[in-house]
Amino acid sequence: MASSVIENAPLEVIRSIFKKYDKDGSKIISQSELGDVLYDLGICVSPSDLPNVYLMINSDGKGGIDLDDFCRWWKSKSKFARLSEEQLQRVTQCAQYFSYFDKDRSGSISSSELPALYQDLDRNRLMPPGVSLDDAWKALDKDKNGVIALNEFIDWLDAASYH
């Protein structure tokens, strides 16, 4: 299972991942750096939920996620426990595809980012025939909050693949 590979990564691998995301070299993962880690892993956390996730991972309350906190979190089963290897791979692929079109790295697709995504979906025959850009927006923005979240996108792709 992919999650066990990720959880059982050698300490050197976890250190290098930590270092990659510790962009300022502070030896602490900041809240915004954690947002980047989560986003790249395909774990969508809303901006309002990020502080809570940050506090959960920063269990020792030292004011930041240090390498020990990061290792403990990385090795935990909870962040990947619900996904099979196939699901994890699909979510990762969807997240990479989604992030390519999320030009402002907001964690969502805005109405200005949708046309490029729509064209690519249509070009790759992932868009059901006859679906206009407006129809796609309505179908993708399930919660009607004006943006398309990764989870909405994945749900839509799953539903579209059965048509």
**Tens digit of pLDDT for each residue in 55-83?**
778 765 567 899 988 888 888 766 555 44
- Which CATH number is 128's domain given? 1.10.238.10
My answer on whether 155 and 96 are in the same domain is yes
Cα–Cα distance for residue pair 142/47, rounded to 1 Å:
19
Q: Is 108 exposed, middle or buried (0-12, 13-18, 19+ CB in 10 A)?
A: buried
Residue 8: pLDDT band (50, 70, 90) is low
Tell me which of 24, 54, 75 is where a domain ends.
75
Tell me which of 75, 103, 127 is where a domain ends.
75
In the block, residue with structure tokens 């595809």 = 97
Residue 80 lies in a domain: no
Q: Which residues contact 60 (CB under 8 A, 6 or more apart)?
A: 66, 68, 69
Residue 28 lies in a domain: yes
Answer yes or no: is pLDDT of 38 > 90.
Answer: no
One-letter amino acid identity for 118? Y
Cα–Cα distance for residue pair 109/90, rounded to 1 Å:
19
My answer on whether 90 and 124 are in the same domain is yes
Residue 114 lies in a domain: yes
Tell me which of 75, 108, 137 is where a domain ends.
75
My answer on whether 111 and 44 are in the same domain is no
Q: Is 163 exposed, middle or buried (0-12, 13-18, 19+ CB in 10 A)?
A: exposed
Residue 2: pLDDT band (50, 70, 90) is very low
My answer on whether 95 and 128 are in the same domain is yes
Cα–Cα distance for residue pair 6/1, rounded to 1 Å:
9
Answer yes or no: is pLDDT of 30 > 60.
Answer: yes
Cα–Cα distance for residue pair 107/42, rounded to 1 Å:
10
- The number of distinct structural domains making up the chain is 2
One-letter amino acid identity for 151? N
pLDDT tens figures, 45-61: 767 777 877 877 876 55
**Domain coverage including residue 107:** 85-161
My answer on whether 141 and 102 are in the same domain is yes
